[in-house]
Amino acid sequence: MRAILSRIALMVMMVLSICVVTIAQDGSTDSFAASNTKTIAPVTVSKYPSTSSPPAQTPTTAIPKVGAIPQTNRVLVILVSFNDIAIKQSEASWNQKIFSTSSKSVKLYYTQATNAKVNLVPASETSGTVNNGVVRVKLNRNHPRTGTAIDSRNQSLVRDALIAANGYVNFAQYDTNHNGRIDASELHIMTIIAGQERAYNNAALSVWGHMWGMAANVTPKLDGKSFFTYTQFGEMHGTHMATIGVIAHELGHDFGLLDLYNTNGSGSGLGTYSLMAKGAWGMQPGDSYPGQTPVLLDAYSKVKIGAVTPRVVSTTTTSVQTVYAGTTILRVNTNLPKEYFLIENRQFIGFDRSLIGKVYKGGIAVYYINTNYASNQTIGKQLVTLKEANQGILGYSQLNSGSTSKSDAFYYVGTGMRGKAQQIYLNNRTNPSNRLSNGTYPNFSMKVNSKPGVAMSVTIGPAYPVTGIALNRSGVYIKKNKTFQMGATIMPSNASNKGVTWSTSNAKVATVDAKGKITGKAVGTATIKARTVDGGKVDTVLIKTTN
């Protein structure tokens, strides 16, 4: 989340895509004199969502316009102490938290989330351990106690921290495009503020994790260079060092990624399914604290950050791999140029292990992208919407309802969380459907052909509706405790969704399972009904059970 100053015009750039494939596998004011300061009114203030609730302020974030994200991203971490409170953790601890390659770190997260397309490296500096990317400074003032607010005091902290760090860093070397300003693509400025992270708990000496920008009247000029965006976090989460989730999320904003939780509080947006939503607070089994294992990026964010170029498809059967197996993202375009679908494979691997306990099974994730919206705002006005495979089973969307219960949104072959066959189709007749914003439906149908796995087969093709169903018998005699497999023919033969549900009029006489296998139970008669999932076409067969 980040706030962008009213003096800075920032625009959001987004490009995304999909297809049919096999997919493999979260007190005191600033020191500026009033006469030298202009009122700084951010256009919007976006705050990192708290662990238990949506942000305290409505965060409609403006994202900096960014070009291609470089593979090597240099990060300068400034640890900021005050007269009344000092940084508790060591320089080495913060180096590990951000740059470690052997334990959970922000670097390791982005390496996995982007298939090594984004690499975080320490900035060059001469403070403490030379060139580990971490500089310690102390400001001659008390903690500003900004708490839930994000305002000019936060920017002034960054300004003064940069000035204090200037003796250890040659900022001029980072202005590689020679525009006189240090941009995020050249150097990420990260400030760790002594005290608490307000998004985690309610403490007086706290700041709220955010990404923002500095206006011309705030940014210092050091080594002949001015500065633009920064990230800022409280050092502690209660009694423990801040976890990496909030840091990875806000750094995502510095890469140009968007908030994908619903910013007005109506619905959850992508909820636990993305780092850019509530997935930043992810925990895998064995973790002690929220945010230790943030969920991986969603498909839209993976494309935007440059981790993968989506494969545009219209008719195909292909294998879709997870981010750990090379990453396949399919894009299905529609007749509305600003609306399309993205398809990826998500499994409980690596950082996505934090989905365990929150999501029933891994599988194919389908996202509806509507670039008529610049962000996720409210239900029905979302840039990115996850199509929840179990919505038709439940009768409602868990993400729209704000439910925190375990969910089952991925498509896969197998039994879902409610003991019923999981949805494997997405087309104009399914729930959820592929309906577009103008009420029309694109002429495509998706079918998932695989059980959950690091590579899953997906078929995409034109949508052909079901026109009828015919059972292969009109009547069946069956003995008690014997079985009979009923067959059904779906018309036309190339129908997109050939799903059938089975039911019996009298389970005491005869039962039928999800695949049409009938079992005689007691002497008598019963009617077995077959109903097509698409169109609700029905045929029946009379069953007589005998001794």
Q: What digits encode the pLDDT tens for the residues 49-75? A: 665 443 333 333 344 444 567 889 999
The tokens for 494 are: 């190339």
Q: What per-residue string of b and e applies to 55-67 under the rule 16 or more CB within 10 Å gives b?
A: bebebbbbbbebe
pLDDT beneath 70: ranges in the chain: 1-68, 324-326
Longest dimension (CA), the chain: 100
Q: How far apart are CA 154 and CA 84, in angstroms?
A: 17
How far is 314 from 69, CA to CA, in rounded Å? Answer: 29
pLDDT of the residue at 49: 62
Question: Residue 6: what pLDDT?
Answer: 33
What domains can be seen in the chain, in order of their start residue?
72-256 (no CATH), 299-461 (no CATH), 468-545 (2.60.40.1080)
Look at residue 41 in the predicted model and tell me its pLDDT.
Answer: 33
Q: Check residue 463 and give its pLDDT.
A: 82
CA 216 to CA 200: how far, in whole Å?
31
d(CA 224, CA 12): 28
Alpha-carbon radius of gyration of the chain = 27
- Write out pLDDT tens, residues 431-459: 999 999 999 999 999 999 999 999 999 99
Instruction: Write down the H helix ranges in 142-277.
Output: 152-165, 244-254
Asked if 503 and 464 touch (Cβ cutoff 8 Å), the reply is: no
pLDDT at position 61, please?
36
